[in-house]
Structure 1
Amino acid sequence: MTRTAVRSAVLLRAGAPLELRELHLDDPLPGEVRVRTLAAGLCHSDLHYADGTLPIELPAVLGHEVIGEISAVGDERSAHRIGERVIATITPSCGSCARCVAGSAAQCLRAAQVRQRSRPKLVDGEGRAVQLLGSIGGFADQFLLPEAAAVPLGDGIPDAEGCLLGCCVATGFGAVVHGAAVGPLDAVAVIGCGGVGVAAIQAARIAGARRIIAIDLHPEKLERARGFGATDVLRSGDDLVRRVHEICPGGVDKSFEAVGSPATAALAFEMLASNGVATVLGLERPGSAIALNAELLIEGDRRIQGAYMGANQLPRDIPSFEAHYRAGALQLDRMVTSRWSFEQINEGFAAMADPDAIRAVVEW
């Protein structure tokens, strides 16, 4: 067994900066590929693990919204894939369980088995295993993936924009198209105008929604939201539901929560019209509970749902993302609001707090 030395950004303690360290990456096993990292988006999920909001075993290498180039394969029959540019998906699927064949690959019943391997992917200098977020660990020079989780991407989308497809675009776009099936008859509200929210706004515009209300605390984000297709903007605050109803009498047909708070999830439900659907996308603290108005639920036939990772099927979805990008409808370049070298990854995380930030991207 051989291992390759890789430079990784390691989380040693919650709330502390990531530290660049040399770790050792296993060779790919049959059914796996090794990927040379090209670019990674800094997602709020990564931030939640880094600051301790969400638990993860330490030490750990975060990073899951990532694009790279296949540099080695574990099966000679896959040698033709070496050099292929790929998006990593955090929701690998077996392709044959009941959920996969029903079109719900993000809820694959065998996802844990697809990720399972006989030895650690990444170890430190003493041979101790290092945890990987989503079994990816994209904040490193190279990483390992199940071959089925390495989704090809054509040459038309640059690396810094392409990495967004693996998480924020897959989630926001997928929630609109797959999770809530937004169409031209729908009025839509999106709470939170970061990467996931902006992707949802663009997807609603592409789907032909008749009204798109963007909601956020920061005026800077709301101004950007208009450029992505929001027809109306509201700054978060008192009487938010009333103000939504002033724009769309009776409420919106579809709402999307991209913040990660029980309070905003409840608001997404309360602003619905009868028969409306609220889709909650923001990750919340373990044990969080969402309080719902029972009258609105029972008498108005309103629904609240999740759409984990946008209920995406990336091998199917990426060609459509590429087509919308080429047509100018999916504006990935405007979603990248700052770019950083790998050595500047902690500065990139700090930039996520800027009021007008959508996505900070680290480039190798």
Structure 2
Amino acid sequence: MNIMSPPPRKLGRIHVPAVTLAHGGGGKAMKDLIDDVFVSAFATDTPRALEDQARFDLAALAAHGDRLAFTTDSFVVDPLFFPGGDIGKLAVFGTVNDLAVGGAKPLYLSCAVVIEEGLKIEELRRVAQSMAAAARRAGVTIVTGDTKVVQRGACDKLFITTTGVGVIPAGVELAIGGIRPGDGILVNGLLGDHGAAILAARGDLALETEIESDCAPLHGLIDAVLKAAPATRTIRDATRGGIATVLNEMAEASGVAIEIDEAATPLREEVRGFCEILGLDPLYLANEGKIVLAVPPAEIQAALAAMRAHPLGACAMLVGHAHAGEQGRVTIQTAFGGKRIVDMLVGEQLPRIC
């Protein structure tokens, strides 16, 4: 029996300047909001009847690998728009990167939004269009979602939750507990740009030099590294808590000590000065386009070369090594010749950062 495809449907349109509670009520106003803002931005073909779930061909998924990767993340960044990105771009790339650091090929995303009553429709449309552009750049499809509207003051403008599905190719085995003494610790570039950009965008500081977020999709870079250095032990993205928190997680999970060299830690001079003025430690600043890798000694140079050949790894550096010291301890060799302990971030250095 042939099953006919549902016919194309006409998309609803919004004719008011701001979101109202009616747009969350489940009726025509809500349908029009979803159609006009989200379906029109995310649809990859002719819009048809919306189902309550996305459906995948299992054979098509299996063609990419032998294991599914599944992740979810929420984004509450303030402000919604900042130099180098916005909450929509951040939501797509952040979830893509959470899949990629496990070695997965990102394929599909969901998008759930909580919107505060009164948010301008054009701001919401701008976020949706940014998400669509980011998804195209990352080669993923936004396939399902949800929309809720809450009263003024119940949330701050817009919160986004994205969930991602990817497939891990056979033979790729990345694990945070797999680091061994002697492994090199690498990063793919300048640290702290996202945290500095967000704080500067809040308008509390008058900076002559605009620092842009490093928000970017990293799966292409990771794929290049894994081809050049297939024995790579682990990869983590250094988001909230910065490289310091990631290193502590890696050291604790693997039962090793890690020491990094301050002189080898890549920082933009503007970020370094920014931190000196505010009394911040750049090792704890958030990143949205940086990964920390542990690579066995024989493949360190190959991994560095692969990263430096990629646009998102041009400033890659070997910043330290794992060793058989006190398990879970992270230290830094300072520019003055001494050492200090680098603890995991306690509390929140900069709230609402991603």
On whether the aligned pair clears a TM of 0.5, the verdict is: no
Higher relative contact order (CA 8 A, sep 6+): 2
Q: TM-score, normalised by structure 2?
A: 0.29
Q: TM-score, normalised by structure 1?
A: 0.28
